[in-house]
A and B are shown apart, each in its own frame.
Chain A
Amino acid sequence: MTVVNQFSSKRVLVIDDQAGMRTQLQMSLTHSGFEKLHVVASIKEALSLMNNGHYDIILCDYFLGEGTNGQQFLEYLRNRDLISRNTIFIMITAESSYESVVTAAECAPDDYLLKPFTAEQLNNRLGKLLERQSCFAAIDKAADAKDWERVAAQCDEVIAVRDKFFIEASKIKGEALLKSGHAPEAAALYTEMLALRPLPWAKLGLARALALNGSKDQAAALARELVAEHDHYMGAYDFLGGVLAETGDKEAALEILQSARQVSPGTLNRVRHVAELAVDTGRHDVAEQIMTEALAKHKYSPVREAQDYAILSKAINEQGKPEKALAVLKEAKQSFSDEASSVLLTTSEIAAHRKAGNNELAEAALSQALAAHHGDLPPSVVAAVADACFALGKEQQATDLLKQLVQNNPDDTAAQEKVHTVLTAAGKGEAEATAMIAASVQEIIQLNNEGVRKAEAGELNEAVSLLCDAADRLPNNLQIVGNAALALALDLARSGYTSIKMHECTRLRQLVAAKSPDYPKLAQIDAVLKKVSQE
């Protein structure tokens, strides 16, 4: 017997490795009126279902057998934006794991269900969560679009009512203010929260606001205080480790994150961070040990990345074991076949071949890595290839790659920092590195302006050739790609339709639309294209 109610239309996904629990949840949920229900045993099955459609509610057991747990799964989903903020994620835990779940990090589920629970309890809880879901729908939608200004504005509407959602709306607004760079406003909000109650997340928020405002030492001091008061609040360790690393004290950062691992081994994200710090500070043995352990634990899990194996191979190679490093990379290549991963793993082989004295193999691997289309690769991978170029004395290719990297990621300060790191590691001075980055930025701005000027002056052939050429190299630079599409559209409108030009124009337009559906130039391109097809 089923009832038609508020639950009927909601799409629900249940993930539990225990058959008994799956049956119970399925029965309870069906009885409560849920009709669109999928029940799976593993995160692999869950991910493949999630590829095919959105879920309103995900119920996930914390323990999913050996390896990856529910918290790591949630972190994986959130880090890759695989679920909407509006999707209700409920973690089912036993009382013994409840604590490690609630203190995990900023990546918290929407609610916890402590086992054992009755159908009645589940039903009630879902009712409350759906009420929250509808109250926060507009906020969550803005968050999905990463429109932080709008998130903050929408939160203000909920905050003004000062009802039971007051604190949660304030918390989300704080996040939005931090993400949109409004450090003083965020600090004021968190200070106000702390006056109500000294909640750990508000204190961490204040520390983050201070760091964002440049007061990194003050932020670190506050985070240290927080770690001392709440030694199980993992987000505080992660933040403190990060801020210490940024201020150049990588040893202290490593120490903090290692002590965090004593409290809770944490997710692969923390392991990654610790391993990278350990490599940076010359503690290759530590990096090897923790990464080997973590990867063994997650052997068949989708939360692994090629980068994990790259770090591990580096740590092993630096200890003078190139054969073992190569074996790690070979194993990784079996799991990761996409272009970015392949290039990264091939690039990682270079150092091992060199350590083993096989310079020919090193050269061959570099040629392979250089053959890829670097415009489509993530900044970290391109930076690794450039680093390898420097190591093999190919300075020109290295600097060309880094220039392309900067120009292809115009608003990405993290990418610029990577470039800076590679340049200084290759022996360039701080000032020289900064100047090279600035020159690359300047060059692409000038090129763009020149293209636009030519188009406006009616020299469309020159504009098209200049901008399309740049768009090919820099498919991630939306300004260049958008202007290239616009120049092509203007050319089509003036000189008449040709299928080659139209095809290229549509391709470039799609490139922009796929990355940023609300990109303002799209409307302009469409308006011009409309004239073409009408003629």
Chain B
Amino acid sequence: MDELAAAVIHDVKNQLAELALRLERRGDCAGETDIAFAAARRLTGLLLVQRQQAGTLRLNVDSGCPGDLLQELAAEYRALFPALDISLETEAAPAFWFYDAALLRLALGNAIHNACRHARAAVRLRAQEQDGQLEFGITDDGPGFPQEMLAQELRAAPMPASRHGTGLGLYLAARIAELHQNGGNSGNTELRNGQGAIFLLRLP
């Protein structure tokens, strides 16, 4: 992606954000506000992918509280999807862990957004410490990920457009997880199907 394209994306993103803010101020068009916010955030994701591919996406790791992070995200998405039952499971989460909170919030936020869009009635957010790693799990009760997405393993480039979107968010989440490294281990993401779709993000 060249610099001109990046600059235009940046501008459009800001315009969308401005539009979202104006809609929010009107107070009578929550649905439209969400669309504009979501669009602005997708472009933010695109800009981050561009930086990741250029090798200039850097982490700023410090301590954070995984339980608080999920609680924050849950409150945010409950407001966006009031019909869904978004529950938390953080009893087995460590009190603190080390990550780039801003990037992780984007990565998880995107996965939660996906889950909320495809869930029938419920989305469950989970954080726990397992085998020396911090694992976030986002589970919905929808139809699950399509087979071609499970096969892709999120390794290569963003996948072609499907009814799940462009896969940009999942791609970015995988890269953000991988950037987190500790003692020779790096983070990863995994997609599974159970009762619905299961998104896992692990940090060393």
Contact = CB atoms under 8 A, between A and B. Distances in A.
A159 to B, nearest CB: 12
A199 B61 contact: yes
B22 interface: yes
Given A103-B60, A121-B76, A199-B62, A112 B96 contact: no
Contacts of B47: 95-96
Contact of B25 (A23, A102, A115): A23
A95 B48 contact: yes
A164 B65 contact: yes
B62 A167 contact: yes
A232 interface: yes
Interface in A402-460: none
Range class of the B interface residue count: 35 or more
A124 B76 CA distance: 8
Contacts of A95: 44, 47-48
B153 interface: no
B68 interface: yes
A414 B95 CA distance: 42
A27 to B, nearest CB: 6
Nearest to B96: A164
B72 interface: yes
Nearest to B6: A96
B124 to A, nearest CB: 19
B62 A24 contact: no
Given A124-B72, A199-B98, A232-B58, A116 B21 contact: yes
B172 to A, nearest CB: 12
B26 to A, nearest CB: 11
Interface string B39-77: 011001001100000000010111101011001100110
B104 interface: no
B68 A116 contact: no
Contacts of A23: 25
Nearest to B36: A116
Contact of A166 (B18, B37, B96): B96
Interface residues of A, number: 35
A115 B17 contact: yes
Nearest to A103: B60
Contact of B37 (A116, A125, A128, A201): A116
B168 interface: no
Select the residue from A20, A164, A232 with max chain B CB neighbours within 10 A: A164
Contacts of B21: 20-21, 24, 116
Contacts of B61: 197, 199
B191 interface: no
B115 to A, nearest CB: 18
Nearest to B66: A164
Nearest to B72: A124
B72 A128 contact: yes
A338 interface: no
Contacts of A201: 62
A207 to B, nearest CB: 18
Contacts of B62: 167, 199, 201
A82 interface: no
Contact of A162 (B24, B41, B95): B95
B192 interface: no
Contacts of B10: 96
B182 interface: yes
B161 interface: no
A3 interface: no
B100 to A, nearest CB: 9
Nearest to B105: A114
B102 interface: yes
B90 to A, nearest CB: 11
B25 A98 contact: no
A99 interface: yes
B72 A116 contact: no
Contacts of B22: 20
A81 interface: no
A192 to B, nearest CB: 14
B24 A24 contact: yes
Contacts of B41: 116
A162 B95 CA distance: 8
Given A24-B25, A121-B76, A124-B72, A116 B17 contact: yes
A163 interface: yes
A27 B33 CA distance: 15
A120 B65 contact: no
B79 interface: yes
Contacts of B60: 99, 102-103
A102 B18 CA distance: 24
23 contacts: A20-B18, A94-B14, A99-B60, A114-B44, A114-B102, A114-B106, A119-B24, A120-B75, A120-B76, A124-B72, A124-B75, A125-B72, A128-B68, A128-B72, A164-B65, A167-B62, A168-B63, A196-B98, A197-B61, A197-B98, A199-B98, A201-B62, A232-B58
Given A95-B47, A114-B44, A167-B96, 7 more contacts: A21-B21, A23-B25, A95-B44, A99-B58, A116-B17, A164-B68, A199-B62
Interface of A: 20-21, 23-24, 27, 94-96, 98-99, 102-103, 112, 114-116, 118-121, 123-125, 128, 162-164, 166-168, 196-197, 199, 201, 232
Interface of B: 10, 14, 16-18, 20-22, 24-25, 37, 40-41, 44, 47-48, 58, 60-63, 65, 67-68, 71-72, 75-76, 79, 95-96, 98, 102, 106, 182
Top 7 nearest A-B pairs by Cβ distance?
A167-B63, A116-B17, A164-B65, A102-B60, A120-B79, A124-B72, A197-B98
